[in-house]
Amino acid sequence: MTETNTATVSTFPAGCRSVLCLTFDLDAETMWTSKDPDNATRPAVLSSGRYDVGPGLDLVLQTLASRGLRTTFFVPTLVAATHQDAVRRIVDAGHEIAMHGDDHTPLRDRARSAEATHIRGIKDKLEDLAQTKVDGYRAPLYDVTEHTRTILAELDCTYSSNYMDSVHPYLVHTCGGVLAEIPVHWILDDGPHMLFSSSPPNHRQFITNSQVTEMWTAELHAIHELRGVATFTLHPQLVGRPSRRQLIDRILDEAETLGEVWYPTMAELAQHALRQVQEAG
């Protein structure tokens, strides 16, 4: 492994103190088939995935439009190919499309060359389906390998959003080039709080909106204090439930109250981070 992490980014445009990235993973049916291939023969289980690209996506896009917010959607290529209309609606609304695997299965156990072929393939396919350039990658379940960021840099990607080792964007120098890491954490992912299935591995109790609001608001405030990035990982089939989507408004209301918060797409944030390398060099 030949990575060096450098240059934590803690200054942002227009004097903003922190960054809020409300990102979405559009897993659709692959959320379920990647957990258990037998789910492909369970229509009711798969229907949760169809809510993702139907009513869930509609409600999320309406909420984002009402706030004038453009953001980033990570889409598995299988979902993009199966639900091309959903991708079109996202792109037409001005949002960014980024990589989220093929059928939502993790990368582990692949040799480096096989992983490089895999990521090149999904990048080409997603760019073809979305008719837009793809700059970044979030692995299913954030499950990258030690080679992933080098491969992304070799493919001229500008960012990865998978690691949990910082609250600031930072630059990663690899033997394939430089890219930005835009860190995540499970606490700002709606999955642990809202994902339920009738069988393992997601046989959990739901967390109420009040509890989620309390957690997310506290995290947002603390990250703002540290001049970091609050990267939310949301799913239209979870946070797009009728009673859940108010959480998006609550977070945005809270950020407005804080003030001095920047709301870039992931690609815009990565460009900002990479410009710091150019200015330093």
Compute the distance between CA of residue 253 and CA of residue 276 in angstroms, rounded to an integer.
Answer: 30
- Quote the tokens at residue 19: 């960054």
| Shortest CB 217 distance to Zn ion, Å | 24
The residues near 96 (Cβ < 8 Å, ≥ 6 apart) are: 70, 71, 72, 73, 132, 135, 265, 266, 267
Is there binding between residue 52 and Zn ion (CB under 5 A)?
A: no
**Interacting stretch for Zn ion, rule CB under 5 A, among 21-29, 82-90, 246-254, 265-273?**
21-29
| Shortest CB 173 distance to Zn ion, Å | 28
Exposed, middle or buried: residue 55 (CB in 10 Å: 0-12, 13-18, 19+)? middle
**Interacting stretch for Zn ion, rule CB under 5 A, among 24-32, 59-67, 205-213, 268-276?**
24-32
Rank residues 136 and 140 by Cβ distance to Zn ion and give the closer one.
Answer: 140
What CA–CA distances, in Å, run from 197 to 35, 177, 233?
A: 11, 41, 19
Q: Which amino acid is at 195?
A: L
User: Which one, of 32, 48, 31, 64, lies nearest residue 245 by Cα?
Assistant: 64
Rank residues 25 and 52 by Cβ distance to Zn ion and give the closer one.
Answer: 25
Is there binding between residue 25 and Zn ion (CB under 5 A)?
A: yes
Instruction: Determine contact, residues 119/152, Cβ cutoff 8 Å.
Output: yes
Count residues near Zn ion (CB under 5 A): 3
**Sign of torsion, CA 208 32 103 27?**
negative
**Among 7, 20, 22, 27, interactor with Zn ion by CB under 5 A:** 27
H/E element holding 53?
Answer: helix 43-53
- Quote the tokens at residue 104: 């939502």
Rank residues 140 and 169 by Cβ distance to Zn ion and give the closer one.
Answer: 140
| Shortest CB 161 distance to Zn ion, Å | 12
Rank residues 195 and 274 by Cβ distance to Zn ion and give the closer one.
Answer: 195
- Quote the tokens at residue 219: 């995290």
| Shortest CB 102 distance to Zn ion, Å | 12
| Shortest CB 35 distance to Zn ion, Å | 11
Asked if the bond preceding 264 is cis, omega within 30° of 0, the reply is: no
Rank residues 31 and 220 by Cβ distance to Zn ion and give the closer one.
Answer: 31
Rank residues 49 and 140 by Cβ distance to Zn ion and give the closer one.
Answer: 140
| Shortest CB 266 distance to Zn ion, Å | 15
Compute the distance between CA of residue 154 and CA of residue 163 in angstroms, rounded to an integer.
Answer: 19
**Interacting stretch for Zn ion, rule CB under 5 A, among 22-30, 183-191, 199-207, 214-222?**
22-30
Site string for Zn ion, 55-74 (x = CB under 5 A): --------------------
Instruction: Determine contact, residues 217/187, Cβ cutoff 8 Å.
Output: no
| Shortest CB 30 distance to Zn ion, Å | 7
Residues 131-170 touching Zn ion, rule: CB under 5 A, are 140
Is there binding between residue 102 and Zn ion (CB under 5 A)?
A: no
Rank residues 75 and 171 by Cβ distance to Zn ion and give the closer one.
Answer: 75
Catalog residues that contact Zn ion under the rule CB under 5 A: 25, 27, 140
